[in-house]
Each structure stands twice: as C-alpha cells, then as structure tokens.
C-alpha cells in the first residue's frame, strides 16, 4: 500500500504555503479569479487537462490513470466569506472585509496537493480523476444558483461521465486526529424564507386606528417555534430560525409592514414537507387573526447531503487502514449546516467526510464563520492523505 501519509507530509510545506497564500487573498463566491487562476496554473504545471470557466470561476482538471476504469470527481470549494478577520495571524486577510472563515483555503490547498500526489501515481491509477475546484459554496452571491449547481449546469458531471464523487470539510467542532465518515444523511437540506406582514400604519398613540404589523410579527416569531417542539417527532430533527426582523422608522409611528427572514433545515423529505405545511398554516392563521395580509416566499437552497452506503464503506476502510493513529468515527455524523455538494450527490453516488481540525491548546477552536476562525494545519496532512488514498481505492473497487 502506498504510504499517503508520508507523501502528504513531505508535501506539507507546499500545502501550507498555498493555504496561507489563499488565506491572505480571500475572494467571495464567483469572484475567485486569483484563486482559480493559481489553481489552473498549478494543475497545468502537473500536465493535467484544465478547463476554466466551468460555473463562472470554477476550474476542472482531468487526470487520466494508466489503467482503464471509472471516473471519480473530487470536489474542493474555493470561496471566502464577507467577514472582517480578527485572528491576528501573520497570514491574515489583506482583502479587508473578506475572510476565509470556513476553511475553504485549506480545501483548495489540499486539492492541489492531492493532484500532485496522484499525478505521481498515474501508473497505479484505474480510471480518471476529475479535480473540481468549485466557486461560491457559501451562497448564490447575486447569481440564480450556487457554485455546485452552476458547475453541474455547465456539464461538470459529463464527458467523461462522473461515476462517483468525494468531498470533505475541515471540521473545527472536532480535534485534529478525528475523522468522520458516515453513511446516509450528513448535512441538512436548507431553505431560506421571507415573510412580509402588511398592516395599516398610523400614530403610535392611536393603535386602535391601525393594524399593527409588529404585534403580528412577534406572534409569528414565537409561534413558528412550535413547529419543531410540537409538530416534528421528538426523535427527528428540524430547525426553524427567524434570523432578521425589520420594521418601523420612528418611536411614535406604527409602521405599515414588517419583514422577517430566516432559514429552515431538515434531513428527511417527509419532515421537510410537514415543516413547510405548518410554516404556511401558522403564518396565514396569525395574519388572519391579526387582520394583516401576509406574503410568504420560501426558496430551496440545497437538498440534504446523503452519503452513498457503498462509497462510504470504501472510504471508511481506507481511513482505518491509512490513519491508524486517528479516531475514525463511522457513526452517522449529522450537522444542520447546509452544503451545496448535495446537488452532485443527488445525481451521483458520493461520500462527504469530515476532517477534525481544532486544537484547543493553541486556541484554534473557534467555530466556522467566526471572525477568529483558524485551524490546526496538521489537519491538512490527514485530509490530503485520506482524499488521495480514498480516490484511488474507490476507483480500484469499481
Ligand atoms: Ni464551508
């Protein structure tokens, strides 16, 4: 068996310098021009067939093994977030207001390192590897869809047709040395919603002459919480979060309307249906009771990420063989976070796994999307090694 850990460790200086360079120069979704440019240049230098502009700023590199076989797609996301960095790290963002606060800088760097490693093992490779560097995982960023969907639209799963996918996330909720490879659902499906409540404005001192949308909005916020506590079965999971509330302009004016936005997260399709039904009933019911009109918009952001059993079992075996000093957690590991890799995994069997990356002693344990988020770079070695080994093993078993 190839010692992928040793190879990933030998290339660690490369991985680290790439990661830090991306961290210094973060770019928002669909603006990953510099990042994508570096990715394309690095892949071309390895002799891969590179296609740019797949899903706007996405980059695809093809590595053909010497032996015939299936095609596996490895996904790495490249985008940063609109956050003002507070890590104080020497490699902190120089792009004010934009920050790699989710670890996608590490993902991109690991992807390039995996390409280097597997290029060296072309002779032992059965089939083709499609390196997929995806833009805009964090949201639509003004486009009609996110990066994953847009790459699918631009044909990333065709020619050569993709048979399986692998993807991973550095995971600061777990320490370095923890690896999570579960079967079944791993990340929730997400919807975002906007609720507009329209009343009748007037003087703050004459409420009886108005229809107060703020009172109705308050009741909607509270009542929506009964969906998860009273409509979803206790052993199943869902989230309904109202995350913005906007209304009013002055202390003595009852406003005309109020607007609420938020998100719904579910794993199971029946639970999702139930939550959406109750969501609408509750809002319309309160609107009617309070004499307000309501307008509800619910937009599906991503389905749930569901891991394929066979592919995940193969990755679990690889992890056990390769990372004997790590904790390999194969219990269903679910998070309510959403991830647009769900779209590819809806079409092609795949496995999405987690690489523990926190280090409490070094205070590298802030959560994802926090202005002080940073991770232990040792995780990059394990993530790189596991991705390279798993890609090779999955192709071999096909
Ligand atoms: Ni992320």
d(CA 47, CA 57): 20
CA 54 to centroid of ligand 1, rounded, Å: 20
The whole-number pLDDT of residue 140 equals 86
Asked if residue 35 and residue 150 are part of one domain, the reply reads: yes
Question: Do 213 and 292 meet the contact criterion of CB atoms below 8 Å apart?
Answer: yes
The whole-number pLDDT of residue 331 equals 87
Asked if residue 117 and residue 13 are part of one domain, the reply reads: yes
Asked if residue 127 and residue 21 are part of one domain, the reply reads: yes
The whole-number pLDDT of residue 338 equals 86
Among candidate residues 240, 266, 301, the one where a domain is terminated: 301
The gap from C-alpha 151 to its chain's centroid, in whole angstroms, comes to: 15
CA 118 to centroid of ligand 1, rounded, Å: 24
Q: Which residues are catalytic?
A: 79, 137
CA 100 to centroid of ligand 1, rounded, Å: 9
Asked if residue 193 and residue 182 are part of one domain, the reply reads: no
d(CA 111, CA 104): 10
Asked if residue 161 and residue 12 are part of one domain, the reply reads: yes
Sequential DSSP letters for 67-117:
EEEEEEEEEEE---BS-------TT--SSTT-B--SSHHHHHHHHHHHHHH
Domain of 14: which CATH number?
A: 3.40.630.10
d(CA 183, CA 180): 10
**CA-angle at 136, arms to 127 and 119, nearest 5°:** 25
The whole-number pLDDT of residue 269 equals 87
Among candidate residues 269, 301, 333, the one where a domain is terminated: 301
**Which candidate, 37, 82, 298, places its Cα nearest to that of 189?**
298
Q: What are the start-end ranges of the H helices in 266-377?
A: 269-290, 309-322, 341-347
Question: Do 74 and 132 meet the contact criterion of CB atoms below 8 Å apart?
Answer: yes
CA 41 to centroid of ligand 1, rounded, Å: 24
CA 104 to centroid of ligand 1, rounded, Å: 6
Question: Do 397 and 389 meet the contact criterion of CB atoms below 8 Å apart?
Answer: no
Domain of 204: which CATH number?
A: 3.30.70.360
Q: pTM (2 decimals)? A: 0.87
Sequential DSSP letters for 153-206:
HTTTTTTTTP-EEEEEEEEEEEETTEEE--SEEEE-EEEEEEEEEE-B-EETT-
Residue 18's contacts (CB-CB under 8 Å, 6 or more residues apart) are 38, 42, 108, 109, 112, 113
Asked if residue 162 and residue 104 are part of one domain, the reply reads: yes
Give the full edge-to-edge strand order of the sheet including 189-198: 238-247, 257-266, 189-198, 293-302
CA 252 to centroid of ligand 1, rounded, Å: 44
Give pLDDT tens digits for 142-158.
898 999 999 999 999 99
- Low-confidence stretches of the chain (pLDDT beneath 70): 398
Asked if residue 206 and residue 106 are part of one domain, the reply reads: no
CA 102 to centroid of ligand 1, rounded, Å: 5
Question: Do 63 and 51 meet the contact criterion of CB atoms below 8 Å apart?
Answer: no
CA 80 to centroid of ligand 1, rounded, Å: 9
Count structural domains, the chain. 2
Among candidate residues 255, 275, 301, the one where a domain is terminated: 301
The whole-number pLDDT of residue 204 equals 97
CA 136 to centroid of ligand 1, rounded, Å: 10
How many other CB atoms are found less than 10 A from the CB of residue 398? 16
Q: What residue numbers bound the domain in which 230 lies?
A: 189-301
d(CA 105, CA 78): 6
Asked if residue 193 and residue 89 are part of one domain, the reply reads: no
Asked if residue 24 and residue 145 are part of one domain, the reply reads: yes
CA 276 to centroid of ligand 1, rounded, Å: 26
How many other CB atoms are found less than 10 A from the CB of residue 297? 10
Asked if residue 229 and residue 137 are part of one domain, the reply reads: no
Asked if residue 60 and residue 207 are part of one domain, the reply reads: no
Torsion-angle region of 182 (φ positive above 0: left; ψ -120 to 50: alpha; else: beta): beta
The whole-number pLDDT of residue 398 equals 64
> 199-213: buried (b, 16+ CB within 10 Å) or exposed (e) per residue?
bbbbeeeeeeebbbb
Asked if residue 181 and residue 109 are part of one domain, the reply reads: yes
CA 40 to centroid of ligand 1, rounded, Å: 21
């Amino acid at each position: 068996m190839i010692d992928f850990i040793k190879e990933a460790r030998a290339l660690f200086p490369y991985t680290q310098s790439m990661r830090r360079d991306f961290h210094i120069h973060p770019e928002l979704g669909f603006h990953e021009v510099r990042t994508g440019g570096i990715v394309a240049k690095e892949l071309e230098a390895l002799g891969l067939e590179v296609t740019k502009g797949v899903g706007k700023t996405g980059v695809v590199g093809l590595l053909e093994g010497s032996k015939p076989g299936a095609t596996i797609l490895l996904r790495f996301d490249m985008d940063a977030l609109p956050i003002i960095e507070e890590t104080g790290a020497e490699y902190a963002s120089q792009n004010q207001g934009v920050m790699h606060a989710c670890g996608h800088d590490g993902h991109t760097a690991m992807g390039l390192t995996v390409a280097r490693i597997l290029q060296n093992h072309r002779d032992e490779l059965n089939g083709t590897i499609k390196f997929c560097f995806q833009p805009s995982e964090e949201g639509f960023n003004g486009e009609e869809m996110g990066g994953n969907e847009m790459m699918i639209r631009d044909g990333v799963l065709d020619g050569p047709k993709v048979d399986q996918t692998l993807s991973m996330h550095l995971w600061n909720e777990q320490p370095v040395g923890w690896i999570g490879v579960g079967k079944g659902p791993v990340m929730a499906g997400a919807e975002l919603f906007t609720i507009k409540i329209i009343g009748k404005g007037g003087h703050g001192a004459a409420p009886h002459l108005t229809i107060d949308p703020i009172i109705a909005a308050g009741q909607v916020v509270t009542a929506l919480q009964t969906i998860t506590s009273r409509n979803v079965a206790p052993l199943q999971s869902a989230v309904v979060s109202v995350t913005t509330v906007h209304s009013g302009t002055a202390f003595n004016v009852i406003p005309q309307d109020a607007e609420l936005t938020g998100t719904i997260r579910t794993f199971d399709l029946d639970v999702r249906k139930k939550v959406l039904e109750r969501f609408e009933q509750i809002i319309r019911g309160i609107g009617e009771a309070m004499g307000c009109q309501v307008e509800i918009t619910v937009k599906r952001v991503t389905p749930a990420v569901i891991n394929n059993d066979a592919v995940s079992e193969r990755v679990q075996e690889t992890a056990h063989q390769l990372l004997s000093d790590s904790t390999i957690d194969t219990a269903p590991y679910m998070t309510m976070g959403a991830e647009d890799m769900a779209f590819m995994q809806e079409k092609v069997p795949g496995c999405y796994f987690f690489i523990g990356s926190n280090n409490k002693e070094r205070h590298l344990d802030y959560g994802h999307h926090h202005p002080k988020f940073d991770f232990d770079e040792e995780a990059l070695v394990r993530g790189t090694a596991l991705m390279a080994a798993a890609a090779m093993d999955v192709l071999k078993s096909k």
